[in-house]
Copies of this chain bind each other. A is one copy, B any other.
Amino acid sequence: MASMIDEIAQETALSDLIEGYFRSGFTTGNALITEAVRRMLAAGGKRLRPRVTLLAAQACGGDALHYLRLAAYMELIHVATLIHDDVVDNAATRRGINATAVDFGNRTSVLAGDYLFAWIFKNVTDGYPPPIPNVLSATLAEICDGEVLQLQALGDLSTGLDTYVEIARKKTASLFAAAAQCGAIAAGGRAEHVAALRSFGELYGIAFQMADDLLDLIADSATLGKPVGNDLVERKMTIPIILALAGGDVDFGKKTSDFFDAIRNGAPIAARTNSLIEAIDQQGGLRATRSQIAAYVERAKAALHQIGVSTARKRLESLAEALLDT
């Protein structure tokens, strides 16, 4: 009981440390950009990436307090990619509304994201030993590479699970892998522990993306902050649809390609979206996705076997297990 209270206290302390840093420790040299980033941070987010960094540092015997800035950079890389995603993805809402205001937003968004990337690298190359700066820049290249691959696969019904995993590994898991790796390196972890924690981050990140795909189909729009089935409307080849298509049902294949055609032709799709989600479920796409999530969660936990038992390791395992509730 005492240990459980300790754990809750520690967990809260970790969150408080991260939020405290963002509230008072974070500032950049550009007022407009600082404000834009602060607003984005205030809008929410579970701070999973900095949490992974701090837990990885703790798992290697480090004191979380010493790695707050490094942990914050992981969230800020994520925030910068979100800022750029808004430019990338808001084509539909951009059309037909006040173009000047929205274009001003676009201009500022591109610059704010660029500035944030540069500001992070400026700080990391100044205060952190190799290979941390190299890991983080290589990670950003992987994220972009993954997003380009995702763009190229939009609406491509022949996309298989291997391609899906490659894209998820690059666009999402690479940052979780780097978050764990950098926390472990900074805390002076042994090479094999650094590798184990990186491996955990990568496998967790893949499971996380799969759970995110699943949520897009099953959560309510208030929880999501966007319409249910938004990924389908963007013609993203998410894992539930890939696994549903893998069943080879001809009618379902036709229904899916008709749906994507309707989107390309600008047809109304709200009712069709719900119908497609039902069909994905009927084809076993949701159940099969849950199996994949469970498999990656197991692999993520197994990657931690070689590091010693500790509260931090247990908490990393709990993070992974939480994905099973999706």
* B-contact 0/1 string along A64-94, CB 8 Å cutoff: 0000000000000000010010011101000
A29 and B141 form a contact (CB under 8 A): yes
Q: 20 extra interchain contacts, Cβ-Cβ under 8 A, other than A33-B148, A84-B110?
A: A29-B141, A29-B145, A30-B144, A30-B148, A32-B152, A81-B114, A88-B107, A89-B107, A91-B106, A107-B151, A108-B151, A111-B147, A111-B151, A115-B141, A115-B148, A117-B140, A118-B143, A118-B144, A121-B137, A125-B125
Residues of B near A88 (CB, < 8 A) are 106-107, 110-111
Q: Which of A38-46, A126-134, A220-228 contacts B (4 or more CB under 8 A)?
A: A126-134
B106 and A122 form a contact (CB under 8 A): no
Residues of B near A81 (CB, < 8 A) are 114
Mark A residues whose CB is within 8 Å of B. Answer: 28-30, 32-33, 81, 84, 87-89, 91, 95, 99-100, 103-104, 106-108, 110-115, 117-119, 121-122, 124-126, 130-131, 133-134, 137-141, 143-145, 147-148, 151-152
Q: Min CB distance, A94 to chain B, in Å? A: 8
Residues of B near A122 (CB, < 8 A) are 134, 137-138, 141
13 interchain pairs (CB within 8 A)? A29-B141, A88-B111, A108-B151, A115-B144, A117-B117, A117-B118, A121-B137, A121-B140, A122-B134, A122-B141, A125-B130, A125-B133, A133-B133
Closest partner residue, chain B, to A132 (CB atom): B125
Q: Min CB distance, A115 to chain B, in Å? A: 4
Bound Cα distance A99, B94 (Å): 10
